[in-house]
Amino acid sequence: MDSGLYFLGGLLASLLGFVFLFGFAGKKRSRASMEVKTNGFVKISQNGILSRPEIEGKTDVIIVGAGVAGAALAYTLGKDGRRVQVIERDLNEPDRIVGELLQPGGYLKLIELGLEDCVEKIDAQRVYGYALYKDGRDTKLPYPLEKFSSDVAGRSFHNGRFIQRMREKAATLSNVKLEQGTVTSLIEEKGTIKGVQYKTKTGQEMTTYAPLTIVCDGCFSNLRRSLCNPKVDNPSCFVGLVLENCDLPHKEHGHVILADPSPILFYQIGTNEIRCLVDVPGQKVPSVGNGEMANYLKTVVAPQIPPQLYTSFIAAIDKGNIRTMPNRSMPASPYPTPGALLMGDAFNMRHPLTGGGMTVALSDIVLLRDLLRPLYDLNDASALCKYLESFYTLRKPVASTINTLAGALYKVFCASPDPARKEMREACFDYLSLGGICTSGPVSLLSGLNPRPLHLVVHFFAVAVYGVGRLMLPFPSPYRIWIGIRLILGASGIIFPIIKGEGVRKMFFPVMVPAYYRAPPLK
């Protein structure tokens, strides 16, 4: 897009923003003879297969990966009567520093899938909103949960415990087989995926076949290139710590610090544990081994965190268990392939700032379940592929809203020497602090409770217009007018490339895409 298009888009969006802003500105708010070892919540036999009766007969669906998406999908399809084989590289409890916050919209999908008990018995913590900090000021942004039952809220937890609970639940189904092994390649015949080749835990080379193979082996997938056009961006890295025996300033809220150079997150993942994630821009972070990271955290980050957390933050650094994880974003750009489908982070990623990844994955699983339910036979690969093209269209409004918001918010929340970007950041904090629709609208988008792309665009430019309005007071000097114009252009330059990457037509006008109307293949 050139600057002229940004300007035109910004102008049109600004008009929408003015209408929105002045319309609502007044509202202020997984054999018995074999020795079995227990690992977390899953019993794993020596051969790496979950302890349960062997599945008889043919496999309907192969699932590569048993993370959040793979485990949830295995249970969902198994509950619908499908014979499912799941191949996971490591069935031990994962140990990750991301995938620890499930938004309320994701929890509603968990309920819809019958998996809500998987957040029980893992010391999961309820989350009712966010607290936003900037330059010593803070504001609470509650989730708009008034229309839901008291059980509906966000959940934060240890990612590995949550995954093990879902693996355990999937393994209770006799038609679901979880096996430890590494998938090395997809088996393709005449353009159709027929199954996979994999190595078992003991190193034995195996092949397995099914009419449908679903690849959801995570953000480091080595199979995605066969099924999509991956354009992976690495905007930053998360540095993770666990703070112990301290309390968050705002109980049952995630905390976002608009720090310099980029945001810092705090949220509770256990009764006495608080996760801290420090965003470090770029692909290279200070070395943990030689002490550069510890020094960076103490000198640059520590002075910017709430004083209530300072002592525990320093203690966590001194303890030395500092973890890093690259943050990745990747628009969904699939090659519709007969016999195969991509899901989860292997398929689509967004910056984890807003904690929307699991919500997108669970929403995709609900959609895929509903699309597959009318199908008795999955063997007509060509017809199934054509039909499942509708999946890529139907998922767009939810996924694109969450993806776009994550990317846009990250760019707005990062510090910048540009005066216009500074004004946008300040305007965003103040806009979210207004209450009413100015708070509940963006938070409902972030939480997955109202995944509507148009609402996202309106709120985003309402923030920009709000920032311009502030600049015009007490009087619109030429410099202030110039900064205002740059603010609108900057906002357009942030959001429109993200929307373009997601796909304008599928995002805003899915009913105009022919695949939207595709009926299930005839039995």
Tell me: the pLDDT tens digits for 497-515? 999 999 999 899 988 888 8
Q: In what order do the strands lie in the sheet with 154-156?
A: 101-102, 154-156, 125-127
Strands 273-281 and 233-244: antiparallel
User: What is the per-residue pLDDT across 244-259, written as a single tens digit (0 to 9) for each?
Assistant: 989 999 999 999 999 9
Read off the pLDDT of each residue in 131-138 and give the average, rounded to a whole number. 96
Q: Which two tokens stand for residue 273?
A: 């544990």
Strands 176-189 and 125-127: unpaired
For residue 396, pLDDT over 80 is answered with yes
Confidence of residue 475 (pLDDT cuts 50, 70, 90): confident
CB 12 within 8 A of CB 465: no
**Which option is the CATH number for 234-329: 1.10.150, 2.130.10, 3.30.70, 2.60.40?**
3.30.70
Confidence of residue 521 (pLDDT cuts 50, 70, 90): confident
Q: Please tell me the distance from the alpha carbon of residue 203 to that of residue 201, in angstroms, as a whole number.
A: 5
Q: Which two tokens stand for residue 220?
A: 């480091």
Bond before 474 cis per omega within 30 degrees:
yes
For residue 7, pLDDT over 70 is answered with no
Bond before 261 cis per omega within 30 degrees:
yes
For residue 43, pLDDT over 90 is answered with no
For residue 226, pLDDT over 80 is answered with yes
For residue 518, pLDDT over 80 is answered with yes
Q: Please tell me the distance from the alpha carbon of residue 174 to that of residue 176, in angstroms, as a whole number.
A: 6
For residue 312, pLDDT over 70 is answered with yes
**Residue 149 identity (one-letter amino acid):** S
Strands 340-342 and 212-215: parallel
- HEC states along 271-298? CCEEEEEEEEECCCCCCCCCCHHHHHHH
Confidence of residue 57 (pLDDT cuts 50, 70, 90): low
CB 157 within 8 A of CB 125: yes
Q: Please tell me the distance from the alpha carbon of residue 161 to that of residue 40, in angstroms, as a whole number.
A: 7
What value does the mean pLDDT of the chain take?
Answer: 89
Residue showing tokens 């897009």: 1
Read off the pLDDT of each residue in 55-77 and give the average, rounded to a whole number. 91
Q: Which two tokens stand for residue 367?
A: 């959609």
> Quick one: pLDDT at residue 485?
96
The dihedral through the CA atoms of 80, 81, 87, 93 has a sign that is positive
Where is average pLDDT lowest: 7-11, 182-186, 227-231, 262-266?
Answer: 7-11
Q: Is 415 helix (H, G, I), strand (E, B) or coil?
A: coil
In sequence order, what DSSP letters do the residues of 249-278 get, joined into one string?
SSTT-EEEE--SSS-EEEEEEETTEEEEEE
Read off the pLDDT of each residue in 425-448 and give the average, rounded to a whole number. 97
Q: Is 320 helix (H, G, I), strand (E, B) or coil?
A: coil
CB 221 within 8 A of CB 313: no
Closest by alpha carbon to 343, among 355, 356, 334, 352?
A: 334
Residue showing tokens 């030689």: 290
For residue 31, pLDDT over 90 is answered with no
The counts of H helices and E strands in the chain are 14, 19
Q: Is 233 helix (H, G, I), strand (E, B) or coil?
A: strand
| CA-angle at 200, arms to 67 and 82, nearest 5° | 55
Helices 453-471 and 478-502: angle between axes, nearest 10 degrees: 170
CB 499 within 8 A of CB 404: yes
In sequence order, what DSSP letters do the residues of 3-72 get, joined into one string?
HHHHHHHHHHHHHHHHHHHHHHTT-----TTS-EEEETTEEEETTSBBSSPPPPS--SEEEE--SHHHHH
Burial of 24 (0-12, 13-18, 19+ CB in 10 A): middle
Confidence of residue 493 (pLDDT cuts 50, 70, 90): very high
> Quick one: pLDDT at residue 304?
97
Read off the pLDDT of each residue in 81-109 and give the average, rounded to a whole number. 96
Q: Which residue has the higher pLDDT, 476 or 33?
A: 476
117 membership: H or E segment, kind and range:
none
Q: Please tell me the distance from the alpha carbon of residue 487 to that of residue 419, in angstroms, as a whole number.
A: 9
User: Residue 286, by phi and psi: left (phi above 0), alpha (psi -120 to 50) or beta?
Assistant: beta
Read off the pLDDT of each residue in 323-346 and give the average, rounded to a whole number. 95
Read off the pLDDT of each residue in 265-276 and give the average, rounded to a whole number. 97
Domain map (residue ranges) of the chain:
61-122+157-231+330-379, 234-329, 404-504
**Which option is the CATH number for 61-122+157-231+330-379: 3.50.50.60, 3.40.50.1820, 3.40.50.1000, 3.30.460.80?**
3.50.50.60
Read off the pLDDT of each residue in 99-107 and give the average, rounded to a whole number. 97
Confidence of residue 311 (pLDDT cuts 50, 70, 90): very high
Q: Please tell me the distance from the alpha carbon of residue 504 to that of residue 331, in angstroms, as a whole number.
A: 12
Q: Is 447 helix (H, G, I), strand (E, B) or coil?
A: coil
